[in-house]
A and B are shown apart, each in its own frame.
Chain A
Amino acid sequence: MKPFEYLRPSDVSEAVAALAANPEAQVLAGGTNLVDLMKYDVTHPGAVIDINRLPLKEIEQLEDGTFRIGALVSNSIAAYHAGIAGELPLLSSAILAGASPQLRNAATCGGNLLQRTRCYYFYDASTPCNKREPGSGCGAVGGVNRIHAILGASQHCIATHPSDMCVALAALDTVVDVAGPTGDRQIPFLDFHRLPGDHPERDNTLQQGEIVTAIRVSGGHFKRHHSYLKLRDRLSYAFALVSVAAALDIGEDGTILDIRVALGGVAHKPWRDPLAETECAGQPANRDTFQALATRLLAGARGQGDNDFKIEMARRAIVRALEQAAAGTPQIQSHKAIF
Chain B
Amino acid sequence: MDLLSNRSSASGLPVSLTINGAHHDVSVDPWVTLLDLLRGPLSMTGTKKGCDHGQCGACTVLIDGERINSCLKLAVSLDGAEITTIEGLGTPDNMHPLQKAFVEHDAYQCGYCTPGQICSAAGLLKEGHAHSREEIRELMSGNLCRCGAYTNIADAIEDVMQAENVGAHREAAE
Contact = CB atoms under 8 A, between A and B. Distances in A.
B30 A32 contact: no
A27 B149 CA distance: 39
Interface residues of A, number: 40
A64 to B, nearest CB: 30
A35 B69 CA distance: 11
Given A4-B7, A35-B74, A53-B2, A102 B30 contact: no
A334 interface: yes
A128 interface: no
B7 to A, nearest CB: 5
Contact of B74 (A31, A46, A80): A31
Contacts of B140: 101
Interface in A22-42: 28, 31-32, 35-36, 38-40
Interface in B59-82: 60, 66-69, 72-74, 76-77
B7 A103 contact: no
Size class of the B contact interface (CB-based, 8 Å): 35 or more
Given A1-B31, A236-B141, A39 B2 contact: no
B3 A106 contact: no
Interface stretch (A8-16, A154-162, A273-281): A8-16
A7 B4 contact: yes
B38 to A, nearest CB: 16
A101 B124 contact: yes
Given A39-B53, A100-B141, A103-B54, A46 B7 contact: yes
Interface stretch (B18-26, B131-139, B153-161): B131-139
13 contacts: A2-B31, A3-B31, A4-B7, A7-B4, A7-B5, A31-B73, A35-B72, A48-B30, A76-B127, A100-B142, A101-B139, A102-B67, A105-B66
The 7 closest A-B pairs by CB, nearest first: A100-B142, A6-B30, A236-B141, A334-B138, A8-B3, A237-B141, A1-B31
Interface of A: 1-10, 14, 18, 28, 31-32, 35-36, 38-40, 46-48, 50, 52-53, 76, 80, 99-103, 105-106, 236-237, 333-335
Given A7-B3, A334-B132, 16 more contacts: A5-B5, A6-B3, A8-B2, A10-B2, A31-B72, A31-B74, A32-B54, A35-B33, A35-B73, A36-B54, A76-B66, A99-B142, A100-B141, A105-B68, A236-B138, A334-B137
